[in-house]
Amino acid sequence: TDPDPTDPEQPTSPGDHVNLGYFTEWGTYDREYLVKNIVTSGSAEKLTHINYAFGDVRNGECVMGDSYAALERSYTAEESVSGEADAWDQPLRGNFNQLLQLKEEFPHIQVLWSFGGWTWSGGFGEAMEDPERFAQSCFDLVNDPQWEGVFDGIDLDWEYPNGCGLECDSSGPRIFGDMMSSFRDVFGDQLVTAAITADASEGGKIDAVDYAYGAENADYIAVMTYDFFGAFAPQGPTAPHSALTPYDGIPQEGFTSDEAIQKLVAQGVPREKLLLGIGFYGRGWTGVTQSEPGGSATGAAPGTYEAGIEDYKVLKEICPVTGFVGGTAYAHCGDDWWSYDTPETILTKMAYAQDQGLGGAFFWELHGDTADGELIAAMDEGLR
């Protein structure tokens, strides 16, 4: 039930649009991002959904990623959402128990278990050789009685059906829809969602799949409108990784958020099922002398966990914005060049989502935001 807005004891719930964030299983380690941070940042009342990332797809079935982080890690009173320490003999600890505590305090939040992602997408093709077995294994895992009440459904993040990611799939354009149909049959009225490519280039990854057919059985589809450009092309040219609209000199046509949305709508995907993607991180190069996009580089800019990528909360301090292009921001500081979204550009993107009649927006991932949740606050404000 929705919280009573007149009751001061009840947290407020967000508006009608989806505002979904990814929570990473591994974030509880060196990143030290706990479920409790969703509360202390003020973000819990602004989110509608959380995708828990990631489960694996192996040998035709859904399997757990890291059972220690999910089920076993013991939380102190200070670390836990409830303010109470885990007992050594309680049946469920870890992230799953913390998510249960979060949902008790913020009953409007729905949680999905997301399977796949870039690293763990290799098993989808094999799993789809027996779709019923695949879907049933996932249902049984997501709805295991041991963590009853944690999950409201499943998110499928196959990178990429009938295309190439870490591995290649050539199952044909209907494979994605066949998967969504199988999962809907098994999951019934639970949420079934997917994260999909935003490659709108001619003959690219969107063209390879019948997403309108897939959308028939999806509650919504999260379009990964980020990572278009980055230091995976170490010499550049520099280009923002998440432009909303095309701009003069963009290195590849079809690599913008708007072009992805328009291509999916043209395929017949209902607008209200599409979510616009926001990256809570930047992508950057080093060896760059030119402030405007299009400069050459010598490689990836240094990052805390991985070269060429850094959280917004860090970039905001170490390399502040120097310009805007295509509805997003960039920053040139010393020899480094970064692009990332800010509260200002997020408001622009949310206005776009509203204008286009989209279902809402989502982001990767919670850890990248500031301690007071300023990016999520901008999404919430823009979606109301």
- Give the domains, in start order, of the chain with CATH numbers: 18-279+342-383 (3.20.20.80)
Query: Which helix (DSSP H) or strand (DSSP E) does residue 355 occupy?
Result: helix 343-355
pLDDT at 186: 98
Counting DSSP H helices and E strands in the chain, the numbers are 11, 15
First to last CA, the chain: 20
What pLDDT score does 94 carry? 98
Picking from 264, 266, 340, 325, the residue whose alpha carbon sits closest to that of residue 292 is 325
Catalytic positions are: 159
Please compute Rg for the chain using Cα positions: 20
C-alpha to C-alpha distance for 219 and 215, rounded to whole angstroms: 8
* CB proximity list for 314: less than 8 A, separation 6 or greater: 304
Burial class (CB in 10 A: 0-12, 13-18, 19+), 267: middle
DSSP per-residue string spanning 309-336: EEEHHHHHHHS---EEETTEEEEEETTE
CA geometry: angle at 5 spanning 50 and 274, to 5°? Answer: 35
User: If you ran DSSP here, which 8-state letter would residue 332 be given?
Assistant: E
For β-strands 49-58 and 309-311, DSSP reports them as unpaired
Angstrom CA distances, 370 to 18, 229, 281, stand at 21, 24, 11
Cβ–Cβ < 8 Å for 376, 19: yes
Gap between the Cα atoms of 369 and 70, Å rounded:
22
Task: State the DSSP string of 34-62.
Answer: -HHHHHHTT-TTT-SEEEEEEEEEETTEE
pLDDT attached to residue 15: 72
Q: Are 241 and 339 in contact (CB under 8 A)?
A: yes
φ and ψ at 182, to 5 degrees?
-60, -40
Max Cα-Cα span within the chain: 61
Determine the pLDDT at residue 16. 87
The structure's pTM equals 0.96
| Residue where the block lists tokens 């060429």 | 308
Block means of pLDDT (10 residues each) for the chain, 384 residues, are 42 78 96 97 98 98 98 97 96 98 98 97 97 98 98 98 96 98 98 98 98 98 98 98 97 98 98 98 98 98 97 98 98 98 98 98 98 98 96
What pLDDT is stored for residue 12 in this prediction?
54
Nearest to 275 by CA among 204, 202, 191, 177: 191
